Amino acid sequence: EAGVTQFPSHSVIEKGQTVTLRCDPISGHDNLYWYRRVMGKEIKFLLHFVKESKQDESGMPNNRFLAERTGGTYSTLKVQPAELEDSGVYFCASSSGTLRHTEAFFGQGTRLTVV
Amino acid sequence: AQSVTQLDSHVSVSEGTPVLLRCNYSSSYSPSLFWYVQHPNKGLQLLLKYTSAATLVKGINGFEAEFKKSETSFHLTKPSAHMSDAAEYFCAIYTGTASKLTFGTGTRLQVTL
């Protein structure tokens, strides 16, 4: 069974440019999460999809970040325009049910560097 | 609000000696607690989780953790470290009042010969 897959694994962009990160969850997992780890700090929640609906987007830092999950399958996270403080590792995770009863499976992350 | 605090950013042990990675939590509700491990260039992997059943939880690769409500702790232990245990370890909490895991800042475990 394929795990959670994220593309690209690394991205280096200039300040002001646009970047789109992609996450393919485990097939059949309705729950999809985005997290971010800024260098040396904790892994912070960004948002949670249930199928194609945003269940909780309380962690999205500002309106430069846009997440979509059309059709309830893969998800994209767009940063436009990117700022230096957006640098970090972006993780995607998926689960078949709530986190109390099921496991969240994480991708390997996308390392974003804004220069 | 829920939170976890990992008390050590770096821990170094010799191969064959015990491992102790410390995690304290804060929660107004009955929590679920998790330990994840991240090896270089890999995703986060679940080691073990506590969800209000047995307070001593056994995980993969010989790791275990004990939930101590009186001490608000969930420390991760392993009797004998192996070189392959070198990685970064994250403690996380979930209470069900929000749909998210809240992570600590991570502890990097170094294992020396």
Asked if residue A1 has pLDDT above 80, the reply is no
For residue A4, which of A66, A70, A99, A75 has the smallest C-alpha distance? A75
The full set of domain ranges for chain A reads 5-114
Sequence-separated (6 or more) residues with CB below 8 Å from residue A84: A15, A114, A115
Percent of chain B with pLDDT over 90: 81
For residue A100, which of B71, B92, B6 has the smallest C-alpha distance? B92
Question: Which whole-number Å values give the CA distances from B20 to A5, A104, B38, B105, in the listed order?
Answer: 32, 24, 17, 16
Residue B41 C-alpha, separation from nearest chain A C-alpha, in angstroms: 6
Q: Does B36 touch chain A (CB under 8 A)?
A: yes
In b/e form, how buried is each residue of B102-112, taking b as 16+ CB within 10 angstroms? Answer: bbbbbbebebe
- Spatial contact of B103 and B25, defined as CB atoms under 8 Å apart: no
Query: For A98-107, B18-27, B91-100, which range has the lowest pLDDT when averaged over its residues?
Result: B91-100
> Hey, are the CB atoms on B98 and A40 less than 8 Å from each other?
no
CATH class of A5-114: mainly beta
Q: Name which of B44, B49, B105 is nearest A91 (Cβ-Cβ).
A: B44
Q: For A6-41, what is each residue's pLDDT tens digit?
A: 999 999 999 999 999 999 999 999 999 999 999 878
The full set of domain ranges for chain B reads 3-112
The residue in chain B having the minimum alpha-carbon distance to the alpha carbon of residue A36 is: B103
In this structure, whether the domain defined by B3-112 belongs to CATH 2.60.40.10 is answered with yes
* Angle A46-A51-A56 from CA coordinates, rounded to 5°: 30
> Hey, are the CB atoms on A59 and B100 less than 8 Å from each other?
yes
